[in-house]
Structure 1
């Protein structure tokens, strides 16, 4: 019997890559796609996909737990992909977990978290001491809930989970396109320690593999997704300089530079998000953000290929922008 997957954020950076992959998968899964704007999501679906296997449901997963309950029950969902962000991420995630707990059909969860060891053991070692970034800190709580007590069915072997831990997305660079082209500045303070980068395509592929696996090989595991090499501010600016054929300068991670970045990001999003993203970049200056060789090899085993190249992404994107 073909599986039925509920996919959150189907119109997001991961979802727009994930949905076509799943609809072309040999297992022919049915997809349940909750959204606040059904017309927009439906219009964004590829024209050549089998839409008979797609159920676009309009409602709020953030504010209406009963909507989630009904989506799981009415469509006999067998697995869920949780890709959530926002100031209400904790509420929404825990309401989802509660809905899954009450479901008689959901047997597997794929949760998109963040790279790094966020375990209780890491917390006991003091990792939280310097973390004030809320959209990172929430992942500690959710992972602990999933790993230590998601559902009573855990103990009976009737439920499984896989956590994916991506590093910093390639696509984040697209948000500073104007600054690079018009001002010659890479307006993201990546710091001097080095940051691993990950393609959204690889995250989507990892999600497909984890859903398809259904907990058999990758159940009960967290798989880091990203490049083995890390990229600090100077190296990143150098790559973009080469790709664009013009000098691109990095911004530093000193107080004045971070203050300025926070103010600019607040105008793009909100003051709260300006502060939260600034706090994330402070972490990148305080410590490297990467994965180990063992974690990289585990990723390759899941993906069935090497991770996408950040250098190639920069090179290809630079060519497109120059055109």
Structure 2
């Protein structure tokens, strides 16, 4: 019984692999370059990617459960649908899919709309699946740590509605637990969705205050200018992606990323421990600077 992990060398996928290995699972990882994968001992490496049908078909051979993770790319939906069709061809029924919270609400944001389409296809194709819907990753803020540490400004335009930010390590552990639960079940389990959120809902000013407390010096919130956010992102990513991120930020301002009743309690019970906090993330970043 083998679990195939896609996106295995990325931020979340690597956490999933490590958690699965630590729990004794038989893990296969889909990677573009096995020589650079640097995954734990015992993980079988399958070279390929989600647009290479032949390599993906080979990677899925003998697999019983699939962890499907797609990067934010222009052909994300095509990648996912190819993977789902090849999984069905291989007789795989059990899937854990990494979607995004409010995928059905942020309907104008390309990568949210794409993930919601994949959710619908998973249902229509009859898979036994857990759909994980994470909120904003705390680790995304590593991209702006130099601005926070060097200039005393938290520049992400996340507004005042609040985001229930989550640590990628918690995502990886929950994904692994769900994969193993489905893998070890005598029969396929019903489809379910899980919001993946952190222990508190954070506004821009609250995050700035946390950084101020951790650094023992003032950090200001940079404000809600999403146009400036897009311009800055264009220096480090393609224009289409920067615009996608701007549209997402605009929905932060109007809707936030808010948990549903019982989400925190459900995740705490699943993990058997408290969720990791943004303060702990900020303290670790400051300590390593």
Q: Give the TM interval when normalised to the shorter protein.
A: over 0.9
Answer whether contact 1:36 1:58 (CA < 8 A) is retained: yes
TM-score, normalising length from structure 2? Answer: 0.92
User: What are the within-5 Å matches in structure 2 for residues 288-303 of structure 1?
Assistant: 288-303=256-271
Correspondence for 2:76 among 86, 89, 92:
89
Correspondence for 2:39 among 45, 56, 61:
45
Report the Cα offset of residue 24 of structure 1. Answer: 1.9
SS of 1:316's equivalent? helix
Answer whether contact 1:228 1:291 (CA < 8 A) is retained: no
Answer whether contact 1:224 1:296 (CA < 8 A) is retained: no
SS of 1:230's equivalent? coil
Aligned partners of 2:190 and 2:238: how far apart in 1?
37
Q: Does 1:234 align with 2:205?
A: yes
Correspondence for 1:35 among 14, 31, 36:
31
Answer whether contact 1:194 1:232 (CA < 8 A) is retained: yes
SS of 2:232's equivalent? helix
Q: Which structure 1 segments of 5+ residues have no match?
A: 119-126
Correspondence for 2:102 among 109, 116, 136:
116
Aligned partners of 1:218 and 1:233: how far apart in 2?
39
Q: Does 1:11 align with 2:5?
A: no
Correspondence for 1:140 among 98, 112, 116:
116
Q: Does 1:277 align with 2:218?
A: no
After superposition, give the CA deviation of every residue in 1:113-151 in whole Å (9 maximum; x if it has no partner): 111373xxxxxxxx46xx32111111221111112x12x
SS of 2:262's equivalent? helix
Correspondence for 1:311 among 279, 282, 287:
279
Q: Report the equivalent of 1:121.
A: none
Distance 1:316 1:66, change over 3 A: same
Distance 1:228 1:218, change over 3 A: farther
Aligned partners of 1:251 and 1:146: how far apart in 2?
40
Aligned partners of 1:171 and 1:109: how far apart in 2?
25
TM-score, normalising length from structure 1? Answer: 0.83
Correspondence for 2:58 among 49, 70, 91:
70
After superposition, give the CA deviation of every residue in 1:262-298 in whole Å (9 maximum; x if it has no partner): 1111111111111110110100100121112322222
Aligned partners of 2:235 and 2:189: how far apart in 1?
41
Report the Cα offset of residue 36 of structure 1. Answer: 1.4
After superposition, give the CA deviation of every residue in 1:24-69 in whole Å (9 maximum; x if it has no partner): 21xx32222111121110xx224xx3x2xx22122222x2122211
Structure whose alpha-carbon radius of gyration is higher: 1
Answer whether contact 1:4 1:31 (CA < 8 A) is retained: yes
SS of 2:234's equivalent? helix
Aligned partners of 2:189 and 2:255: how far apart in 1?
29
Report the Cα offset of residue 182 of structure 1. Answer: 2.1
> Which stretches of structure 1, 4 residues or more, deviate above 3 A after TM superposition?
215-219
Q: Report the equivalent of 1:249.
A: 220
Q: Does 1:163 align with 2:131?
A: yes
Q: Report the equivalent of 1:221.
A: 192
Aligned partners of 1:110 and 1:23: how far apart in 2?
17
Aligned partners of 1:23 and 1:29: how far apart in 2?
5
Report the Cα offset of residue 220 of structure 1. Answer: 1.0
Aligned residues: 285
Report the Cα offset of residue 228 of structure 1. Answer: 4.4
Q: Does 1:180 align with 2:148?
A: yes
